Amino acid sequence: MQKITIAIDGFSSTGKSTVAKQLAKSLGYVYVDSGAMYRAVTLFAMQNGFIETGCFDKDGLISQLDHIKISFKFNKDLGFAEVYLNEKNVEKDIRSLEVSNFVSPVATISEVREQLVKQQQNFGKDKGVVMDGRDIGTVVFPDAELKLFMTASAEKRAKRRYDELIERGDDVSYDDVLKNVQTRDHIDSTREDSPLTMAEDAIKVDNSSMNLKEQFEFVLKLSEDKI
Ligand code: C5P
């Protein structure tokens, strides 16, 4: 059976990664969370003093890009690949609200994007990949056989992200999470380099009123039609 490339883009917390993981598992494809890569670069910047309250040393971060090694290792118990920054598992650290608050400014830097896009294209060079992000169908894999663009209301998305953070024990407020989702949407869709936009040939999936099962069945059918 021929393998295809599936690109899933959309606003923050639209459930892209949930559906991407389900699809990859069901099709026997590799799943790549491109947002985790931007988050890992952001964590590196925070850990190395390039981001401090009120100050972001972009040039300092750019000068260190060659020292940032991002990799994914499959965790059998979890059923998906976790992200490693310079050989350290940072899967949990990169999901904090603090990283979320800085990641969109980091993702506006063209040098960062160039480096990560190259690595993402390499992950998908043999097809059989499901990748989610903001520019996958427009920049990373413009020739992907299936492109999905996920949307849902900001309130619904913030509630999902808030529940996730509370479940893992983070002390956050719903209002702060909503503000973060709205700010990231704005920065991601108005930046100069690779703004978040729906590819012309993408299929829009509004999951505001779909449950996980319905959403999965819908996108699985779309995928099977392309294979
Ligand atoms: O997908 P996730 O919400 O984890 O992504 C975190 C951030 O990384 C996004 O808000 C966006 O700023 C950036 N990003 C990006 N391009 C991608 C994936 C993520 O700019 N392909």
Nearest ligand 1 atom to the CA of 94 is: 4
The total number of structural domains in the chain stands at: 1
Residue 227 belongs to a domain: no
- pLDDT value at 37 more than 90: yes
pLDDT at 53: 80
How far is residue 215's CA from residue 206's CA, in Å, rounded to a whole number?
Answer: 9
Residue 1's H or E segment, with its range, is: none
- Quote the percentage of the chain above a pLDDT of 90: 93
Residue 133 belongs to a domain: yes
Residue 80 belongs to a domain: yes
What is the best residue among 11, 37, 38, 110 to mutate for testing ligand 1's pocket, by most ligand atoms within 8 Å of CB? 38
User: For the CA atoms of the chain, what is the radius of gyration?
Assistant: 17
Our CA angle for 214, 159, 25, nearest 5°, is 40
Reported ipTM: 0.99
Sequence letter at residue 100 = S
How far is residue 194's CA from residue 192's CA, in Å, rounded to a whole number?
Answer: 6
Averaged pLDDT for residues 72-99: 95
Ligand 1 proximity of 184 Cβ (cutoff 6 Å):
yes
Q: How far, in Å, from the CA of 1 to the mean position of ligand 1?
A: 31
Q: Is residue 67 within 8 Å of 17, Cβ to Cβ?
A: no
Q: How far, in Å, from the CA of 37 to the mean position of ligand 1?
A: 8
* Chain center to CA of 10: 9
pLDDT in tens, 8-32: 999 999 999 999 999 999 999 999 9
Helix spans in the chain (H): 16-27, 34-47, 58-63, 97-107, 110-123, 154-167, 174-190, 212-226
Residue 68 belongs to a domain: yes
Residue 88 belongs to a domain: yes
Quick one: tokens of 194? 């690779």
pLDDT in tens, 168-220: 999 999 999 999 999 999 999 999 999 999 999 999 999 888 888 999 999 99
Residue 226 belongs to a domain: no
Nearest ligand 1 atom to the CA of 135 is: 21
What is the best residue among 134, 148, 183, 194 to mutate for testing ligand 1's pocket, by most ligand atoms within 8 Å of CB? 134
pLDDT in tens, 125-134: 999 999 999 9
Give the structural domain span for 94: 5-221
* CATH for 132: 3.40.50.300
